[in-house]
Amino acid sequence: MPWPKEHKAETRARIVHAAAAAFREHGLEQVGVAEIMRRAELTHGGFYGHFASKDDLVAAVVAEAPAESEASLAALRGATSPGGALDEATAYLSPEHMAHPERGCLFAALGPELARGSRGVRRPLAAKIQQRLSRLAASLSSRLSPAVRRRRAAGTLACMVGGIVLARGLDEAEASAFLKDVRAFVRDALAEDD
Amino acid sequence: MPWPKEHKAETRARIVHAAAAAFREHGLEQVGVAEIMRRAELTHGGFYGHFASKDDLVAAVVAEAPAESEASLAALRGATSPGGALDEATAYLSPEHMAHPERGCLFAALGPELARGSRGVRRPLAAKIQQRLSRLAASLSSRLSPAVRRRRAAGTLACMVGGIVLARGLDEAEASAFLKDVRAFVRDALAEDD
DNA sequence: TGTACATCAGTGAACGCGCGTTCACTGATGTAC
DNA sequence: TGTACATCAGTGAACGCGCGTTCACTGATGTAC
């Protein structure tokens, strides 16, 4: 092998990382292959040595970006270990997350676009959403029944994603009041009978 | 005036209607001016007699489509007068709405794309979201304080939008179980202390 | 240890296509006489 | 009442541009001798 073992995998990871940020900031269609490669400090021709198509890259972003954004949201929470569902929702529904789609949640930044995508994109998308639901459910009190935990995880994740999507559509002042209301709503919903 | 008074306004409305459906089904960037005009049974050249640009049309869609989709969701509820917030959320979080973005909620279908749009798009977007929040708050029990109503409207709308966005990213079987959970979550959250 | 070689990651020019937009034109209509 | 005209909504060919993708090539590297 004429190149260091890990070289190609590292370059690929750099492309996925650059694409994940650019897509979340500007949308899938607004960011071209050339722009992504420029951000990864490469030239556009090399792209097809790593991916079969732009769609193939989008599928890779869906499979790999959520881990990054969860780490970024955990940092915002100031935590290294997974926190409770309420802590997660509170950090997620923050003005910081609203203002920074490029390092935030993929579903809130690109959900509808990804849902309209090819099977290759939808398959990892469904898997990542289910994974997120399972983890949220697991972070709820073990005194609750599995059915209640599943229900609360579903409702909480819906509030999180919808809260950020809507906040990004509002003016800044309106948005922070709105986010505060959604945080309080989730707090109340998770507190009852607990 | 060589043409009937209402003629041009009617044609314009036909274009906005066709665009609203096509955009919600396939996304803003996936639908061209030519395709929209074809759906409105016109040729693409005539477009610029009605709109200054494609962006201008998107702004018109944001200003005018929500009224249509609210009517369509009210029909799903089987109601002519505005129902309670819980009835609205229940109809919104239905498999039918999930399966039909083209006649459903604009925010759930295009929220992130619109939020990334020009000022001309964002201005009506923020106004329509606030309008939706006000109406939801108004449909809650008058025994609740205005602050609580605002909070519950915010949380409920977040659940609605996030619920549909996420459901559209799941497989069909997973999605209907997920929507059922979100409906139950909203029911519980709106029921307490009421 | 030093050198020639094979490998393959990355380069950059070029392609074909579809898009948003423009514009000279057509023809259906209400109005003036 | 009938006809010539002015208006303007809609037509369709054409434009320039940026995109995803291809491909012949370059050159940095590990290996064989």
The average pLDDT across B68-73 equals: 92
Q: What is the pLDDT of residue B80?
A: 73
Residue A124 and residue A56 in contact, taking contact as beta carbons nearer than 8 Å:
no
Q: At what angle do helices A106-115 and A146-167 cross, to 10 degrees?
A: 90
Spanning CA of B21 to C1' of C2, the rounded length in angstroms is 71
Q: What is the pLDDT of residue B194?
A: 53
Instruction: Report whether pLDDT(A194) > 60.
Output: no
Spanning CA of B1 to C1' of D3, the rounded length in angstroms is 19
The average pLDDT across B183-189 equals: 98
Residue written as token pair 């998770």 = A190
The average pLDDT across B87-96 equals: 97
Q: Which residue is nearest to nucleotide D27 (CA to C1')?
A: A2
Q: What residues have CB less than 8 Å from A158, skipping those under 6 apart?
A: B158, B159, B160, B162, B163, B166, B182, B185
Residue B101 and residue B24 in contact, taking contact as beta carbons nearer than 8 Å:
yes
Mean of per-residue pLDDT scores for chain B: 95
pLDDT tens-digit map of A50-80: 999 999 999 999 999 999 999 999 998 887 7
Residue B105: closest C-alpha in chain A: A112
CB atoms within 10 A of CB A188: 16
Q: Does the distance separating the beta carbons of A109 and B166 come in below 8 Å?
A: no
Residue A149: closest C-alpha in chain B: B181
The average pLDDT across A22-36 equals: 98
CB-CB neighbors (< 8 A) of B145 in chain A:
none
Q: Does the distance separating the beta carbons of B29 and A27 come in below 8 Å?
A: yes
Listed by number, the residues of chain B in 60-99 with a beta carbon closer than 8 Å to a beta carbon of chain A are none
Q: Please tell me if residue A110 touches chain B, with a CB cutoff of 8 Å.
A: yes
Footprint of strand C on the protein (CB under 7 A): A 1-3, 7-8, 11, 37, 42-46, 49-50; B 1-4, 31-35, 44-45, 47-48, 53-55
Q: Does the distance separating the beta carbons of B160 and A133 come in below 8 Å?
A: no
